[in-house]
Amino acid sequence: MTVLVEADRLRKTFGQIVAVDDISLKVEKGEVLGFLGPNGAGKSTTMKMLTGFLEPDSGMARICGHNVSESPKAAKTQIGYLPEGAPAYGEMTAGAFLRFIAEIRGFDGHQKTTRVASAVERTGLEKVVDQPIDTLSKGFKRRVGLAQAILHDPPVLIMDEPTDGLDPNQKHHVRSLIAEMARDKAIIVSTHILEEVEAVCTRAVVIDRGRIVADGTAEDLQRRMPYHNAVALKVGAATADAVTSALGSIAGVASVERMKEDGGLIQLRALPKAGALIAPDVAALLAERGLSVSELYVERGRLDDVFRKITSEEAARRHA
Amino acid sequence: MRNVFIIAKRELAAYFGTGLAYVFAVIFVALTGAFAFFIGNFFGREQADLLSFFQYHTWLYLLLVPAVAMRLWAEERKAGTIELLMTLPVTTGEAIIGKFLAAWAFIGFALVLTFPMWITVNYLGEPDNGVILTSYIGSFLMAGAFLAIGSCISALTKNQVIAFIVASTICFLLVMSGTDLVLNFFRSWAPQIIVDAVASLSFLTHFNEIMRGVISLASVFFYISLIAFFLFANAIVVDQRKAA
């Protein structure tokens, strides 16, 4: 596979504050990398260094083989970048703005027209091309930013919170746009919304206080969760004890937790040993013993929890 | 070069798109005219020249040019569009020159709109049109120098009001640098050579020379090098402070 984006030990400080501390990562063609982290973790700063807006204190960023500091122009032509908040020249109409971007990107005449038209069509801006950007709604402004980023069909697409502040329909639209483009590009999307990672990303990198604290697929991250593959059950109060002892006898079960009572129903949770799949065994055993349950599901381990766990563990480790 | 042109074109479109162009041009033409007739006593002098007209350009530029320059970079930084602009495949130099040329061309456009003054004086008498032409060129060069200073200051802040006041003050000191107001400050402690150097920075001295119809190489060089110096400083400021 071809590595299109490469960060090598990037570091950036602002006065006393270390915003990005030794970040290295590679993104290959066809990958959508979700860049996760709490606010102020260094996501935007990292992206700004990758796109050549900020000069790193040390380390190096490479886009399609071009060193961003040494040949910024060559690197920048390969990138489509949506900065945080999708800034644009507000007094221009969406169409004029996109034509300006097309010209700067080196398109002229007929090519300029078709590029702009296709970006407008892909981002659904047809109705507002002749309106000044200042008068557009937040969703449309964001789409203008997106159109600007994808206009030259770049091999590398870097987007800082592309769905921030959009309504659910618009979020869905942006995500499907990303998914559609994913095949032949390397895409980096920063977000603090975890559902987004599950929805569009092939890989997630969690950064906290300027460092990478986790790197893997959404599935990998979920696996780090203690409740991953745990089986949750709701049973009647009368059968609760029988079910508990039955669960305890299954080989793959590490422990059984009794959670809360809810209108005569008791919620139980069987935790697996080291991520083992226990659901089939649980279901089979319960059927065999004729124990009835009113609800049974496998817990995936929510990314939200993983995220909180990783970032707070990291904080604790540093304080120690 | 292509990028400089594209950026300049966008900037110029913005001047006209926001109405700034019309406000500026009308006020500039009205004020230069008013100053020439009422304060400069254009008729009373009974001279077929435009001295009473050009004489006040320095003072008008002191207010009006920083007003054009203040938005050049402060606005980009405030709106965050600087991040967009500087991640497009353009160099800092291209962006700075493009913006500067647009603003300069725009002031030139306002200057051209004062042509009724020229018609008037030609209708009334037989002026030396060579002198008038050199005065126009001198005025344009002076505006460019003010503009480069304003552009550089504008990159230092997100706040346009601060950019305006600081740029105006610096321009004012440069204009006054041939007078006792500024020179006395230096005379008390600096050697004569520095006092002379400061005095030679005076916009007024150079412009007065040009208004007399003398385009000396020294004066042209003075303005051009001032523009070059401040645009260079501007590039450093933009590179250093774009993230702040």
DSSP letter string over B59-80?
Answer: HHHHHHHHHHHTHHHHHHHHHT
CB contact under 8 A, B81 and A96: no
Alpha carbon distance B196, A185 (integer Å): 62
Contacts of B239 in chain A (CB under 8 A): 55
Nearest Cβ partner of A92 from B6, B17, B86?
B17
Hey, what amino acid is at A133? I
**What type of residue sits at position B33?**
G
The pLDDT assigned to A317 comes to 73
Angle between helices A279-289 and A240-248 (to 10 degrees): 130
Higher pLDDT, B15 or B215: B15
Q: Do B243 and A72 touch (CB under 8 A)?
A: no
What is the C-alpha separation between A99 and A146, in angstroms, rounded? 14
**B80, A87: Cβ pair inside 8 Å?**
yes
Average pLDDT (B227-236) is 95
Smallest Cα distance from B33 to chain A, Å: 31
Instruction: Find the residue in A nearest to B241 (Cα).
Output: A54
Is the pLDDT reported for residue B244 higher than 80?
no
**Which token pair is A39?**
């606010």
Q: Whole-angstrom Cα distance, residue A255 to residue A270?
A: 6
Whether residue B243 has pLDDT greater than 70:
no
Strand A211-216 versus strand A265-272 pairing type: unpaired
| Residue for token pair 């208004």 | B211
Q: How many CB atoms lie within 10 A of CB A294?
A: 10
Which residues of A fall within a CB distance of 8 Å from B5? none
Give the nearest partner residue to A54 out of B7, B91, B243, using CB atoms.
B243
pLDDT averaged over every residue in chain A:
87
* Residue B172 in this model has a pLDDT that exceeds 80: yes
CA distances from B240 to A260, B3, B29, B36, B71 (A): 58, 22, 38, 43, 19
d(CA B107, CA B21): 9
- Note whether B10 contacts A92, CB cutoff 8 Å: yes
What percent of chain A is predicted at pLDDT more than 70?
97
**DSSP label at residue A203:** E
User: Could you tell me which of A162, B219, A154, A58 has the C-alpha nearest to residue B227?
Assistant: B219
- Would you give the DSSP letter of residue B37? I
Domain hosting B6: range is 2-243
Q: Identify all chain A residues contacting B8, using CB atoms and an 8 Å cutoff.
A: none
Query: Mind spelling out the 3-state secondary structure of A58-97?
Result: EEEEEECCEECCCCHHHHHHCEEEECCCCCCCCCCEHHHH
**DSSP at B244:** -
Residue B41: left (phi > 0), alpha (psi -120 to 50), or beta? Answer: left
Q: Which two tokens stand for residue A254?
A: 């590490």
- Residue-wise pLDDT for A94-128, tens only, equals 999 999 999 999 999 999 999 999 999 998 899 99
Residues of B in contact with A83 (CB under 8 A): 80, 83-84, 87
In this prediction, residues B214-240 reach a mean pLDDT of: 90
Q: Where residue A79 falls among pLDDT bands split at 50, 70, 90?
A: very high
* Percent of chain B whose predicted confidence (pLDDT) is above 90: 46
Is the minimum CB–CB distance between B1 and chain A shorter than 8 Å?
A: no
Cα dihedral B10→B16→B20→B23 (10° resolution): 160
Q: How far apart are the first and last CA of chain A?
A: 40
Lowest model confidence (mean pLDDT) among A116-120, A167-171, A248-252, B11-15: A248-252
How many interchain CB pairs under 8 A, A with B? 66
A interface residues, B as partner, C-beta within 8 Å: 14, 48, 51-55, 72-73, 76-77, 79, 81, 83-85, 87-92, 96, 100-101, 103-106, 132, 148
Task: Please name the residue that has the structure tokens 């070059």.
Answer: B228
Dist. CA B14–CA A134, nearest whole Å: 13
| Residue B243 to residue A96, Cβ atoms within 8 A | no
Which tens digits make up the pLDDT trace of A258-305?
877 777 788 888 888 876 788 888 888 888 888 888 888 887 766 677
Residue A145: name the closest of A174, A108, A114 by CA.
A174
| Distance from C-alpha of B30 to C-alpha of B114, rounded to nearest angstrom | 9
Taking each helix axis from N to C terminus, what angle separates B92-112 and B71-79, rounded to the nearest 10 degrees? 130
Q: Are B41 and B51 in contact (CB under 8 A)?
A: no
In angstroms, the CA B163 to CA B155 distance is 8
Judging contacts by C-beta atoms under 8 Å, the chain B residues touching residue A14 are 243
Q: List the single residue in A51, A72, A91 with the smallest CB-CB distance to B14.
A: A91
DSSP-assigned states of every residue in A157-175: EEEESTTTT--HHHHHHHH
Region A193-221 average pLDDT: 84
B81 to A73: CB separation less than 8 angstroms, yes or no? no
Within 13 Å of residue A82, how many CA atoms lie on the same side as its CB? 28
Alpha carbon of A85 to those of A140, A170, B186: distances in Å? 12, 15, 49
Dist. CA A104–CA A310, nearest whole Å: 42
Whether B10 contacts chain A with CB within 8 A? yes
Q: Which of B83, B86, B158, B241 to mutate to test the interface with A (most CBs of A within 10 A)?
A: B83
With vertex at residue A306, the alpha carbon angle to CA A165 and CA A274, rounded to the nearest 5 degrees, is 155
**CB nearest B83 (choices: A14, A79, A87):** A87
Distance CA(A207)–CA(B18), nearest Å, equals 42
> What is the per-residue pLDDT for A66?
94
**Dihedral sign (CA A50, A52, A56, A61):** positive
Q: For residue A5, count CB atoms less than 10 angstroms from its CB and return exposed for 0-12, middle for 13-18, buried for 19 or more.
A: buried
Element holding B54 (H helix, E strand): helix B51-54
- In the prediction, which pLDDT does A271 show? 82
DSSP class of A131: S
Nearest to B14 among A48, A52, A89 (CB): A89
pLDDT-derived band at B228 (thresholds 50, 70, 90) equals very high
Count of structural domains within chain B: 1
Closest CA to A203 of A215, A193, A191, A192: A215
Crossing angle of helices B160-175 and B57-69, in 10° steps, is: 150
Q: In the prediction, which pLDDT does B67 show?
A: 92
Q: What pLDDT digit, counting tens, does each position of B139-152 carry?
A: 999 999 999 999 99
Cα–Cα dist B150/B71, whole Å: 9
Highest mean pLDDT among A278-282, B117-121, B204-208, B223-227: B223-227
> What is the pLDDT at residue B70?
92
